[in-house]
Structure 1
Amino acid sequence: MVAYTTAPGDVEMGLEERMVVLVEKKSSTGHMWKVAVALLVVALCLGSVLLLACYWSGKPYLMTQSGHTEALIKNDIAEKTDPHTTLRRISSKAKAAIHLEGSCEEDCENLQGQLEWRSGQGQAFAQGGFRLVNNQIVIPQTGLYFVYSQASFRVSCSDGDEEGAGRRHTPLSHRIWRYSDSLGRKASLMNAVRSACQNTVQEDSYRDGQGWYNAIYLGAVFQLHKGDQLWTETNQLSELETEDGRTFFGMFAL
């Protein structure tokens, strides 16, 4: 900004002889803007340095947390792939649920297909009015229920013949029965049949006594009535595997 002023002249001089001097006055506004811009640039630089320092100081912790989280995720995936653990977790959150562990410790063949079910041991439990009476589950209320069961077998396919001609196509079966007053009789709720010792390629392992291993799993949703009784029937009880939660029976309300 430029301003003009008139310097005082000799009073006695005429208007024609007066001297006019131009004086330039610089404004301070431009200088203030330059200072403000410089301070802003400095502040941005300092902020960037602080952010970078915080990032690098926290990176080892983040890496450690990431590794820990990855391990937890792997463990969680391993647990979710186990059907026994998954069913146990779901049923434990239901209002009415029961989960039983199978047992066949002595003289299994004399049980005539009635695998002994036990509550209150291992992972077994009962809640919401479910009862185990005479080896049968009694339904507490009318409604929809998810019913499930698994029977695991280990069959010795070698009969001791020197030629190695072991047992062939040994049938394995597992069934869930239901009795309801509305029906007035028992009815098959679910069942499955499989053949053991059908794989001749694995005869060497049979001769070594390792046997043939497989499981029959049953599971579906049913409309059940209060007072209904459910139980299982399984053949080849002497070949049954009952340890480590391999054989179980349960249901939960939906």
Structure 2
Amino acid sequence: MVSHTTAPGDVERGLDERMVVLVEKKPSAGRLCKMSVAILVVALCLGGILLLAWFWPGLKQSGQTESGQTEAMLQTKSAEKTDHHSTLRQISSKAKAAIHLEGNYEEDDDGSQGRLEWKSGQGQAFAQGGFRLEGNKIVIPHTGLYFVYSQSSFRVSCGDGDEEGAGQSHVPLSHRVWRYTNSLGKEASLMNAVRSACQNAPQEDGFRDGQGWYNAIYLGAVFKLNKGDRLRTETNQLSELETDDGKTFFGVFAL
């Protein structure tokens, strides 16, 4: 800073003539400190603005990338969840309807011949896909192609018939599957087979030891059945029927 100081006049030059001397005064230390701080603050602000302008595009792109990754992850999880549900639906829709029944035979209390009873839920027997057992008959759940099968196993006491109680010399065995459909209003035979037991010649698919004859009648074929159709079996010689160990069974499964 500059101040003006008036020097005393020269006596010889008179009182009116005076010499002016300029004296520079230095600013105080406190003021210099304040100015330095202000300059530093301005410089920091400018530097921050420049850094922000320099890195802003990268930060913006990074934020967009993270957002995109998060969205992609959410979409992936959603897709996986949808795929799991879709897979379960596909499995359920492709699960085949089926029923398998085990046979059971017991004589009536009065000693008369009873009937072959089909049982579900015991042994290897089961029912799924809408099949049900009603009145000893299989009820078809939907219209479509089905494989129907059944087997009856027999053990017949054989003999020459010359002596009383020696056994039977010739016994016809039969097994049949019936179908009742509403469109016809009556029963029709789906499959049937007849065998002769206790023949003189040995059976290729049976066993004959002179006292017993063992064999099975198996039926199986594909049919187009309607919803609500009912299937039942008819077997003769029930007293010679074997129903243990899955030897006699009845079943249907969808194709």
Q: Which among 110, 114, 117 is matched to residue 113 of structure 2?
A: 110
* Counterpart for residue 137 of structure 2: 136
SS of the residue 1:110 aligns to: coil
Matched, 1:248 2:249: yes
Q: Which has the higher strand share?
A: 2
SS of the residue 2:184 aligns to: coil
CA contact (8 A) 2:147 2:254 kept: yes
Aligned-pair identity in percent equals: 77
Matched, 1:222 2:223: yes
Cα distance, 1:123 vs. partner? 0.1
Distance, in Å, in 2 between the alignment partners of 1:204 and 1:161 is 18
CA contact (8 A) 1:94 1:252 kept: no
Q: Which among 193, 199, 205 is matched to residue 209 of structure 2?
A: 205
Matched, 1:174 2:178: no
Residue identity in the other structure for 2:141: P
Distance, in Å, in 2 between the alignment partners of 1:167 and 1:96 is 42
Residue identity in the other structure for 2:234: E
TM-score (norm 1): 0.57
Cα distance change of structure 1 residues 118 and 162 upon mapping to structure 2, 3 Å threshold:
same
Aligned structure 1 segments of 4 or more residues deviating by more than 4 angstroms: 159-166, 200-204
Cα distance, 1:148 vs. partner? 0.1
Structure 1's unaligned 5+ residue stretches are 1-92
Cα distance change of structure 1 residues 131 and 167 upon mapping to structure 2, 3 Å threshold:
same
Q: How does 1:39-50 map to 2 (within 5 A)?
A: none
Distance, in Å, in 2 between the alignment partners of 1:162 and 1:190 is 37
Cα distance, 1:169 vs. partner? 2.5
* Counterpart for residue 196 of structure 2: 195
Distance, in Å, in 2 between the alignment partners of 1:103 and 1:206 is 27
Distance, in Å, in 1 between the alignment partners of 2:112 and 2:142 is 34
CA contact (8 A) 1:109 1:238 kept: no
Q: How does 1:19-34 map to 2 (within 5 A)?
A: none
Distance, in Å, in 2 between the alignment partners of 1:216 and 1:161 is 28
SS of the residue 2:210 aligns to: helix
Distance, in Å, in 1 between the alignment partners of 2:247 and 2:196 is 19
Distance, in Å, in 1 between the alignment partners of 2:214 and 2:125 is 24
Q: Which has the higher helix share?
A: 1
Q: Deviations over 1:134-171 (max 9, x none)?
A: 00000000000000000000000137744997523210
TM-score (norm 2): 0.56
* Counterpart for residue 88 of structure 1: none
Cα distance change of structure 1 residues 226 and 217 upon mapping to structure 2, 3 Å threshold:
same
CA radius of gyration, larger in:
2
Cα distance change of structure 1 residues 169 and 232 upon mapping to structure 2, 3 Å threshold:
same
SS of the residue 2:141 aligns to: coil
* Counterpart for residue 127 of structure 1: 128
Residue identity in the other structure for 1:170: V
Residue identity in the other structure for 1:244: D
Distance, in Å, in 2 between the alignment partners of 1:94 and 1:115 is 30
Q: Deviations over 1:31-56 (max 9, x none)?
A: xxxxxxxxxxxxxxxxxxxxxxxxxx
CA contact (8 A) 2:113 2:238 kept: no
SS of the residue 2:199 aligns to: coil
* Counterpart for residue 57 of structure 2: none
Residue identity in the other structure for 1:97: A
Structure 2's unaligned 5+ residue stretches are 1-93
Cα distance, 1:204 vs. partner? 8.8
Cα distance, 1:95 vs. partner? 1.5
* Counterpart for residue 145 of structure 1: 146
